[in-house]
């Protein structure tokens, strides 16, 4: 059977499963809608958290970044995994004990102020929309390749699918769909990895295969380093970023993870505090399976790409190359007219996105607009295709190629659904119920939440159609925003009794404004006003992805200084803070 037939079958079966679960787990109450009724088992919650966590950025883009950036790409691995540990140890159990559904809810009650709650809602919306833009783009890329539609149509199909299960089931529907999506996603990520590892190094375990020897006795990584240096790239296994920038990006991703509203809310879906810790442990193990495999997949994909394409005549390129050319995610321009694809260091195009005109070149290749005449590089490869094209490059069976498509969709859709739920609860629960209309009925609140999801999906779809940068870069900026705004307010809220509303509000506002300013100034530029500034002008040599660390430090300093210059929080708030830090059951033996 052809790849497309297999894709229709596998995507059809998995989607039927998701829809079936969403209908089975319809939400009847707001508690069902927000926290799945609080009755999810630790293992199911661990699987759902892992699926929620491993977005299109983890599944599609992370290995793509590592395969292009080599050693420098490892910051994503360290930051995202380390952040999860931080979340499990420092935040989850305490927030679960505090017993609030959402991050703005915690901040509003801990800082006894609707002003703080509103600032938190605005931050949650900014973080979630930045993050969901990356997911929608991921969905578009997968649909466009495997259903042979353009990326924008792919985004629209993805919007419709997420709408169904988020709208019907809320957190309850999403939790059980995510358990199924985890199974699909991990199976789809691992099967090609086993196959390719076996094919290249004779060892089926990709983590070991990556460090293994090839047929001629040469180590795989040595071969990749050689290929890299021959083509003028930096050695794959050595980095170009400064130590400070590596540290800043890793820390921003770590604390950003710990402040991500859609992951924190998962810990309220289990019955007890102990279960929150257990499910965090399960999730860490389940996430590690994918995260330890990603570097191996990057190495396999990069080696295979160079081997099959570099210096090959265009008339002899493999079938997969021509398939992916149609999506506009890979392109070739014959600059020296020899009919061969020269793949060397340097950008093949000028500007960010290559747009294809319908004109054909002399050798029938797609003509890249804005060709960069200053470099000899003739090949443009979008990083986001590395994982998806990997099984095709390695000539794996058609069902494996289709399986990866189903896995990529599961990863993007599970995270998108979790984020949209955060957006809708921020609006229905934290804005409408807690502030604008406290006497709203439960039914009214449920409808408000569903309406908010509808609006959020439309906005998210627009972000997917007009995306700011490639998937993982957008997601990294969302982590920076979460680090700059939420993390200090949550951590200080748990561990600093003296922290008051004035400190928290000023810290969050300063942090998020600073991060947004830096992002616009150095990453996106304001269209028509100014271009993004060059990296030579970065403050302290910090990249926009790492700037969340600087913004977070500023937030902490501002929060602490302001809180010490203003009156302390009321006595009952200080007592709550004492209470959430004491393990339940402590001290009972001594008091009669």
Burial of 388 (0-12, 13-18, 19+ CB in 10 A): buried
The answer to whether 514 and 551 are in contact (CB under 8 A) is yes
DSSP secondary structure string, 262-299?
Answer: HHHGGGGSSSSHHHHHHHHHHHHHHHHHHHHHHHHHHH
Instruction: Output phi, psi for 486, to 5 deg.
Output: -80, -45
Query: Is a pLDDT exceeding 70 seen at residue 4?
Result: yes
As a whole number, mean pLDDT of residues 328-351 equals: 72
pLDDT at 348: 66
Q: Which residues, at least 6 apart from 509, have a Cβ–Cβ distance to it below 8 Å?
A: 119
pLDDT at 563: 92
pLDDT at 560: 94
User: For the domain 3-304+393-581, what is the CATH superfamily, name and number?
Assistant: Sodium/glucose cotransporter (1.20.1730.10)
Is residue 380 classed as helix, strand or coil in its secondary structure? Answer: strand
Give the Å distances, CA to CA, from 241 to 190, 325, 473: 30, 31, 16
User: Which band of pLDDT confidence, cut at 50, 70 and 90, is reported for residue 35?
Assistant: low
Instruction: Output phi, psi for 269, to 5 deg.
Output: -90, 0
Helical packing angle, 74-86 and 243-258, nearest 10°: 40
pLDDT at 553: 94
Q: Report H helices in 441-546.
A: 442-465, 471-495, 501-519
Mean pLDDT of the chain: 78
- Cα separation, 208 vs 223, in Å, equals 16
Q: Report H helices in 36-150.
A: 42-53, 56, 63-69, 74-86, 92-98, 103-110, 114-146
- Cα separation, 203 vs 212, in Å, equals 8
Query: Is a pLDDT exceeding 50 seen at residue 358?
Result: no
pLDDT at 346: 65
Burial of 570 (0-12, 13-18, 19+ CB in 10 A): exposed
pLDDT at 305: 81
As a whole number, mean pLDDT of residues 63-90 equals: 79
pLDDT at 354: 41
User: Which band of pLDDT confidence, cut at 50, 70 and 90, is reported for residue 353?
Assistant: very low
Which structure tokens are listed for 520?
Answer: 């616009």
User: Which band of pLDDT confidence, cut at 50, 70 and 90, is reported for residue 360?
Assistant: very low
pLDDT at 114: 83
Q: What is the DSSP letter of 360?
A: E
Which structure tokens are listed for 62?
Answer: 């992370």
As a whole number, mean pLDDT of residues 5-12 equals: 86
The answer to whether 395 and 343 are in contact (CB under 8 A) is no
- Cα separation, 586 vs 40, in Å, equals 26
pLDDT at 551: 92
Of residues 196, 185, 229, the one with CA closest to residue 300:
196
As a whole number, mean pLDDT of residues 63-79 equals: 79
Q: Residue 438, Cα to own-chain centre: how many angstroms?
A: 34
Q: At which residue do the structure tokens 């490639």 appear? A: 470
> Which range has highest mean pLDDT (122-131, 144-153, 214-223)?
122-131
The string of pLDDT tens digits covering residues 379-419 is 777 777 788 888 888 888 888 888 888 888 777 777 777 77
- Pick the residue with more confidence: 514 or 4? 514
Query: Is a pLDDT exceeding 50 seen at residue 31?
Result: yes
- 250-254, 313-317, 470-474: the lowest-pLDDT one: 470-474
User: Which band of pLDDT confidence, cut at 50, 70 and 90, is reported for residue 550?
Assistant: very high
pLDDT at 172: 75
- Cα separation, 123 vs 481, in Å, equals 8
pLDDT at 366: 43
- Give residue limits of the domains in the chain: 3-304+393-581, 330-381
pTM above 0.85, yes or no: no
The string of pLDDT tens digits covering residues 518-527 is 877 776 655 4
Query: Is a pLDDT exceeding 50 seen at residue 361?
Result: no
As a whole number, mean pLDDT of residues 504-510 equals: 91
- Pick the residue with more confidence: 482 or 166? 482
As a whole number, mean pLDDT of residues 269-284 equals: 82
> Which range has highest mean pLDDT (151-155, 174-178, 192-196, 380-384)?
192-196
The string of pLDDT tens digits covering residues 425-457 is 778 877 788 778 888 887 888 788 888 888 888
As a whole number, mean pLDDT of residues 273-288 equals: 84
The answer to whether 348 and 378 are in contact (CB under 8 A) is yes
Of residues 135, 113, 132, 133, the one with CA closest to residue 508:
113
Of residues 402, 318, 378, the one with CA closest to residue 142:
402
């Amino acid at each position: 059977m052809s790849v497309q037939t297999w894709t229709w079958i596998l995507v059809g079966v998995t989607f039927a499963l998701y829809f079936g679960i969403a209908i089975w787990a319809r939400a009847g109450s707001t508690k069902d809608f927000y926290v799945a009724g609080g009755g999810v088992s630790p293992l199911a919650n661990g699987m759902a958290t892992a699926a929620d966590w491993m977005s299109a950025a983890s599944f599609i883009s992370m290995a793509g970044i590592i395969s292009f950036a080599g050693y420098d790409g490892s910051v994503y691995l360290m930051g995202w995994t380390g952040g999860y540990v931080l979340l499990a140890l420092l935040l989850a159990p305490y927030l679960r004990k505090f017993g609030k559904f959402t991050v703005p809810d915690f901040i509003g009650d801990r800082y006894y102020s609707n002003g703080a709650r509103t600032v938190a809602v605005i931050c949650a919306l900014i973080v979630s929309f930045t993050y969901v833009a990356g997911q929608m783009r991921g969905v578009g890329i997968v649909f466009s390749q495997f259903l042979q539609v353009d990326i924008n149509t792919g985004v629209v199909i993805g919007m419709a699918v997420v709408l169904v299960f988020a709208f019907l089931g809320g957190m309850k529907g999403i939790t059980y769909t995510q358990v199924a999506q985890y199974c699909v996603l991990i199976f789809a990520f691992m099967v090609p990895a086993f196959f390719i590892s076996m094919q290249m190094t004779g060892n089926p375990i990709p983590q070991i295969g990556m460090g293994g020897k090839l047929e001629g006795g040469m180590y795989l990584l040595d071969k990749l380093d050689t290929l890299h240096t021959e083509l003028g790239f930096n050695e794959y296994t050595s980095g170009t970023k400064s130590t400070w920038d590596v540290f800043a990006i890793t820390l921003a991703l770590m604390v950003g993870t710990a402040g991500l509203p859609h992951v924190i809310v998962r810990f309220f879906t289990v019955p007890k505090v102990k279960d929150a810790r257990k499910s965090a442990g399960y999730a860490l193990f389940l996430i590690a399976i994918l995260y330890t495999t990603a570097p191996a997949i990057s190495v396999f994909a990069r080696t295979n790409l160079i081997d099959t394409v570099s210096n090959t005549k265009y008339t002899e390129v493999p079938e997969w190359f021509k398939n992916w050319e149609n999506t506009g995610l890979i392109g070739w321009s014959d600059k020296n007219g020899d009919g061969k694809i020269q793949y060397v260091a340097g950008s093949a195009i000028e500007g960010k996105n290559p747009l294809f005109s319908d004109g054909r070149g002399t050798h029938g290749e797609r003509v890249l607009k804005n060709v960069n005449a200053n470099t000899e590089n003739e090949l443009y490869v979008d990083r986001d295709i590395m994982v998806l094209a990997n099984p095709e490059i390695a000539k794996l069976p058609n069902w494996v190629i289709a399986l990866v498509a189903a896995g990529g969709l599961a990863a993007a859709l599970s995270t998108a659904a979790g984020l949209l739920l955060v957006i809708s609860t921020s609006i229905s629960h934290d804005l409408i119920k807690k502030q604008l209309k406290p006497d709203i009925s439960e039914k009214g609140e449920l409808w408000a939440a569903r309406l908010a999801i509808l609006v959020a999906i439309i906005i998210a779809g627009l972000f997917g159609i007009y995306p700011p940068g490639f998937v993982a870069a957008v997601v990294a900026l969302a982590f920076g925003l979460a680090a700059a705004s939420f993390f200090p307010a949550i951590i200080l809220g748990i561990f600093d009794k003296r922290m008051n509303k004035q400190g928290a509000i000023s810290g969050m506002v300063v942090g998020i404004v600073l991060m947004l300013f830096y992002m616009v100034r150095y990453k996106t530029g304001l269209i028509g006003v100014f271009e993004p500034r060059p990296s030579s002008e970065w403050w302290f040599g910090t990249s926009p992805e790492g700037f969340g660390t600087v913004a977070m430090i500023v937030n902490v300093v501002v929060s602490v200084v302001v809180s010490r210059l203003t009156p302390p929080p009321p006595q009952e708030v200080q007592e709550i803070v004492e209470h959430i830090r004491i393990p339940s059951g402590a001290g009972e033996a001594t008091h009669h």
